[in-house]
Amino acid sequence: MTGSSVFDYIHQQDHAELAEQLGINLAQSQTTMASSPGSVASDEGSSSSAPGGTSTPTGLDRPLPVMTLNSNTSYKGMDRSFCIRMKSTLTKRGCHFKSSGYRVVLILSHLRPQYSFSNGRKQGSANVMGMVAMAIALPPPSINEVRLESDMFVTRLTFEFRVAHCEPRVSELLDYTADELTGKNMYALCHGQDVQRLRKCHIDLINKGQVMSGYYRLINKTSGYTWLQTCATVICNSKNSDEQSIICVNYVLSGVEYENCILDCSQILNSENLKPDDPSNSER
């Protein structure tokens, strides 16, 4: 892979998102690559050669596109976290994955700013030197292949992000039972300040087939909230590709925070429904 453009390994529909994260003009980058052909990896991983049998310059010899900080992005600072699809020869070609031959990868990255020095002083610049990233392949879609730890539980969602099924073990981690969560919409359960983050996760899931959410807060039944992170996967039926469902592996990241604070109208109703001698109602 060294020397080739990263876009050679990224799903075509994810090129624009990656370009935005890198702070480059995608059209300008593609024009530069076309005018200076290099070693481009094909689907089989081979490299192209110039006519006459001579090798063309590698990607390291190409003119590099200018990377700048995009002021229109929703990210603040230099840290980035996003999911993209990369080519994978290990992905089983079949109905389980939305994009056959690709694997969804979580990118945790940090942009390196380019500094200029004048009279011995370091000055900031809008230009970016590059991106340092760690890529984490998301778990396989078959839930049987995922080892569930004690702080994890599984849910099945509809495409409207409504809970269709929940594992009974959720009652050991949250103050909900499985029956209480079934039928509820994730947007109604999510903290108001995290709704846009959940919506981005929802859109990425529909487009890419799998996604790892950012950290978000789940409103508890009677008060406060709990931090969660969710890995969601669209699963296709092997006999009928039109039958799809969303399987979520949910990671509980914290205990109850602000447990004596009412944060949502639903918590008022649930608190009123507690019996007077209920110990959880003694401090409210």
> How would you write the chain as a 3-class SS string?
CCCCCHHHHECHHHHHHHHHHHCCCHHHHHHHHHHCCCCCCCCCCCCCECCCCCECCCHHHCCCCCEECCCCCCCCCCEEEEEEEEECCCCCCCCCCCCCCEEEEEEEEEEEECCEEECCEEECCCEEEEEEEEEEECCCCCHHHCCCCCCEEEEEECCCCEEEEECHHHHHCCCCCHHHHCCCEHHHHECHHHHHHHHHHHHHHHHHCEEECCCEEEECCCCCEEEEEEEEEEEECCCCCCCEEEEEEEEECCCCECCCCCCCHHHHHHHHCCCCCCHHHCCC
pLDDT confidence of residue 238: 66
Contact 129, 24 (CB under 8 A): no
Which of 175, 268, 131 has the alpha carbon at shortest distance from 284? 268
Q: Which regions in the chain score pLDDT beneath 70?
A: 27-76, 91-100, 116-126, 140-145, 237-242, 271-284
Pairing of strands 116-118, 152-157: unpaired
Domain 143-272 homologous superfamily, CATH: PAS domain (3.30.450.20)
Q: Which CATH number fits domain 1-22+75-137: 3.40.50.2300, 3.40.1440.10, 3.40.1640.10, 3.30.450.20?
A: 3.30.450.20
The residues, ordered by sequence, that sit 6+ positions from 269 with a Cβ below 8 Å of its Cβ are: none
Burial-class residue 263 by CB neighbours within 10 Å (0-12, 13-18, 19+): middle
pLDDT at 76: 66
What is residue 255's predicted lDDT score, i.e. its pLDDT?
Answer: 92
* Amino acid at the residue 149: E
| pLDDT per position as a tens digit, 225-268 | 999 999 999 987 666 666 788 999 999 999 999 988 888 888 78
What pLDDT, on a 0 to 100 scale, did the predictor assign at position 272? 62
Question: Per-domain residue ranges for the chain?
Answer: 1-22+75-137, 143-272
Burial class (CB in 10 A: 0-12, 13-18, 19+), 40: middle
pLDDT at residue 231 in the model: 94
| Structure confidence at residue 1 (pLDDT) | 82
